[in-house]
Structure 1
Amino acid sequence: MRPYHVAAFALAVIANLTWTTPTVAQEVRINGAGASFPFPLYSAWFRHYNRITSGVRINYQSVGSGAGVRNLINRTVDFSASDAAMTDAEIAEVQDGVVILPMTAGQAALASADLSSDDLRIWVTDPSDPAAYPIATFTWMLFFRSHGNDRVAEALRDFVTWAMADGQGMAEELGYIPLPEILVKRVLAQVPDIQ
């Protein structure tokens, strides 16, 4: 066989293998960091969601609310979480905007909360007693309004939708308060804003 026939044959074999080998989808890896108060619940959510969702892995580090907000502003994470809703000044620092969604609440939060806030930054005054516990507030997840990675944004929208349905059922057994239906509906209405 002539050398150019061998080369042509080898190229044909390689081309055939390339065209017939199925493409393996790359796993979507999502990294978040922030609030420590909801970590037991968020950790349970992410473990469960990772188990039931093929091709998506969410990793969350409990580093504290302030560090989580700073990580979001610096774009070193895909999402963040905070025990305090972001201030207007912090929101202004997030390039392309932020979507702030309440996910769960501490024990006294719902009793004293005004649920009519337009932007879902629902403020609850913590008790003045320094020995007061647990935290009497909502906890929020913070997402980029424009993430820049469509696959990550889609997976985060799917996760929040799951958390508002199935995830809320896990809250009470871990010592958190599931969101009332009125807030669940409002959160779900904002899920498409996570781009």
Structure 2
Amino acid sequence: MKSLLQVVATGAAVALFVLPAAASEVRLTGSGASFPAPIYTTWFKQFTRANKGIQVNYQAKGSGAGIRDFMNHTVDFAASDAAMKDEEIAKVAEGVQLLPMTAGEIVLAYNLDGVKGLNLPRSVYPGIFLGKIKKWNDPAIVAANPGVTLPDEEITVVTRADSSGTTFVFTKHLCAISPDFESGPGTGKTVNWPSEAKMVKAPKNDGVTATIKQTPGAIGYIEYGFARMSKLEMASLENKEGHFVAPGLEGGQAALANAVIPENMIVWLPDPAGVDSYPMATYTWMMFYKKYDSPEKAEALRKMVIYCLDEGQKIADKAGYIPLPANVVEKVRAASANIQ
């Protein structure tokens, strides 16, 4: 709204008062990880409704693209499942504040007609993604699933086509449990997958989800909420203690239970201990500058973080994510004051 000119006439004298303009809308733009996109989208819509004058636009384009946007200063904040590296942070003159905002599980979703409750040992699923186990009725899979009829069908492996934090966390886990994977593809937001595997690539978590659903005999790695929402079957994975654990809140919370958040807010859980722990759980981060040109924008971002902590965590489980432990919430709350 434009400033208004108020004219007050008193006798022969005329006094002019310029009324200040109404506060302009603060627009916040972010990009990055598709892993937490469903819950972030819900949070930002609810936050916008609760805070008139603030608009949040988030584009899920993959963790690697989000980090690039953040380093190029084309967004106000970014999101990634692979926390920024020290050398990347050093290139941001304004400083970087990473905040873990939610946590989730990476699941192995599959498309096998009539097969439910599939168990995959930790000696088996790295072999699938290395292209060493090629058929669903491989003896190693059959042995872990007594009473289950597995088809003589070739396995189609579905991976990410883009630079992905989900890929980073997944490959970090595979490297932790498989020396062959560590000495082969290794860890990264993108890796050179073995040519031995029958492989299809798709962009973002929703692209991998759709490809698995459309491809009989497929298996791929996606965030738990995507699999649950799409009604895909998910394998129970053998954890560090030798127990098969299905994806879900209890296994995810058990995996996070012993993780200590350090000062830089970056912690990894490549192979969590505990008999009840699901083996692939991870925090996912939002990234902010420590110094903004606009105090109004910095204040709006701080408000957004606090809203996600106080209100957003209440819907985490329903959305397919793991609510942050109380001690982590308080650490994030304190660190958000660094956004200035």
The interval holding the TM-score normalised by the smaller chain is 0.7 to 0.9
Q: Deviations over 1:34-87 (max 9, x none)?
A: 100100000000000011101100110001101101111111100000011111
Out of 303, 308, 315, which is 1:158 matched to? 303
Query: Whose radius of gyration is greater, 1 or 2?
Result: 2
Counterpart Cα distance in 1 of 2:293 and 2:49 = 26
Superposed, 1:134-173 pairs within 5 Å as 136-173=281-318
Deviation at 1:116, TM superposition (A): 3.7
Counterpart in 2 of 1:188? Answer: 333
Question: Separation in 1 of the partners of 2:329 and 2:339?
Answer: 16
Match of 1:99 among 64, 88, 97: 97
1:77 alignment counterpart: 75
Displacement of 1:20 = 6.0
Matched-pair contact (CA < 8 Å) for 1:33–1:77:
yes
Cα distance per residue 1:134-186 (max 9 Å; x no partner): 96211100000112111110000011011111111011110001100010000
Q: Counting strand residues as a fraction of each chain, which structure ranks higher?
A: 2
Deviations 1:68-110 (A, max 9, x none): 0111111110000001111111111112210000000013665
TM-score (structure 1 length as normaliser): 0.83
RMSD in angstroms over aligned alpha carbons?
A: 2.3
C-alpha contact 1:34 1:64 (8 A) present in aligned 2: yes
State whether residues 32 and 78 of structure 1, in contact with CA within 8 Å, keep that contact through their aligned partners in structure 2: yes
Give the superposition deviation at 1:19.
3.2
Find runs of 4+ consecutive structure 1 residues off by over 4 angstroms.
none
Q: Whole-Å Cα distance in 1 between the matches of residues 19 and 90 of structure 2?
A: 47
Q: Which runs of 5+ in 1 are unaligned?
A: 1-13, 128-132
- For residues 70 and 172 of structure 1, the distance between their equivalents in structure 2, rounded to whole angstroms, comes to 30
Q: Distance in 2 between matches of 1:91 and 1:66?
A: 14
Instruction: Assess, with a 3 A threshold, how the Cα gap between structure 1 residues 41 and 135 changes in structure 2: closer, same or farther.
Output: farther
> Where does the alignment leave 5 or more consecutive residues of structure 2 unmatched?
9-15, 106-250, 273-277
Q: Give the structure-2-normalised TM-score.
A: 0.49
Residue type matched to 1:149 in 2?
S
Residue pair 1:27, 1:57 contacting (<8 A) in 2 also:
yes
Task: Kindly state the Cα deviation for residue 16 of structure 1 after the two structures are TM-superposed.
Answer: 2.4
Q: Of residues 19, 37, 40 in structure 2, which corresponds to 1:39?
A: 37
* TM-superposed deviation, 1:23: 2.3
